[in-house]
């Protein structure tokens, strides 16, 4: 008759197992494994432990043997499963990454977990897990601008100096676009998203001349009214 291996605990292992067996935040599977080992250390047989913990005798024998072989580490983590990952799932993960980094939806500026899941015929939770695993954040965008003007620094100092120290009795006006008028295009091509970095685009953009004229006239008219009043 085959006999179960004997379990002997030292003080450190017993302290850890007792904490796991009573821990409210400890995963349920780890609570059960700790109780199996503690019961085995008391000299109980596998069949009695199985009845007490409402699990199978095979499960009791498995975690008893794992502890006897590898100690605490043997029951803390599951043994990696053999076999190759399903190819269909690998292909779907690859498609999620490709569409997130190389394509955009037709009616939005970036993908969401819902829209991408619908486009690929999968669920939002899988898209979210892939994004988190590869550091993809399509909703984030940082602006950048590289000036090719050789006199950019001089012009910048002139503009900033005009605001900080304007001439005496001078009126300094700042003309900007209306918030209701949408930018039509960026001055430089945006850089795509890739794992670990979000999409980037220039901070400035191109507007139609009619829009600029309307904005300029509106701003100047408002400034003149303020001066008159």
What is the pLDDT, as a whole number, of residue 81?
62
For the chain, residues classed under CATH 1.10.10 are 11-76, 87-139
Q: How far apart, in Å, are the Cα atoms of 64 and each of 8, 41, 52, 67, 80?
A: 11, 9, 15, 5, 18
The domain 11-76 having CATH identifier 1.10.10: the answer here is: yes
Instruction: Write out residues in the chain with pLDDT < 50, as ranges.
Output: 210-215, 224, 227-229
How confident is the model over 154-189, as pLDDT tens digits?
888 888 888 888 888 777 776 665 555 555 677 777
The class of domain 87-139 in CATH terms is mainly alpha
Q: Which residues of 185-209 are buried (b: 16+ CB within 10 A; e: fewer)?
A: eeeeeeeebeeeebbebeeeeebee
What is the pLDDT, as a whole number, of residue 228?
44
Q: How far apart are CA 68 and CA 168, in angstroms?
A: 89
Q: How far apart, in Å, are the Cα atoms of 103 and each of 68, 116, 128, 161, 205?
A: 53, 10, 17, 43, 21
Q: Which two tokens stand for residue 194?
A: 């890739």
Q: How far apart are CA 10 and CA 28, in angstroms?
A: 24
How confident is the model over 96-117, as pLDDT tens digits?
999 999 898 988 888 999 999 9
């Amino acid at each position: 008759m085959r006999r179960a291996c004997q379990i002997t605990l030292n003080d450190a292992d017993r302290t850890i197992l007792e904490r796991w067996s009573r821990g409210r935040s400890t995963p349920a599977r780890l609570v059960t494994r700790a109780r199996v080992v503690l019961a085995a250390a008391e000299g109980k047989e596998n069949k009695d432990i199985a009845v007490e913990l409402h699990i199978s005798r095979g499960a009791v024998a498995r975690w008893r043997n794992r502890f006897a072989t590898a100690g605490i580490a043997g029951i803390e983590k599951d043994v990696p499963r053999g076999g190759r990952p399903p190819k269909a799932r690998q292909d779907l993960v690859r498609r999620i990454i490709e569409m997130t980094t190389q394509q955009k939806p037709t009616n939005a500026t970036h993908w969401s977990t819902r829209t991408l899941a619908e486009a690929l015929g999968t669920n939002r939770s899988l898209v979210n897990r892939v994004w988190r695993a590869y550091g993809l954040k399509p909703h984030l965008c940082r602006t950048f601008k590289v000036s090719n003007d050789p006199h950019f620094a001089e012009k910048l100092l002139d503009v900033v100096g005009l605001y900080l120290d304007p001439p005496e009795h001078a009126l300094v006006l700042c003309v900007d676009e209306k918030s209701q008028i949408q930018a039509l295009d960026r001055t430089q091509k945006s850089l795509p998203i890739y794992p670990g970095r979000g999409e980037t685009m220039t901070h400035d953009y191109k507007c139609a001349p009619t829009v600029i004229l309307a904005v300029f006239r509106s701003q100047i008219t408002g400034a003149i009214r303020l001066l008159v009043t």
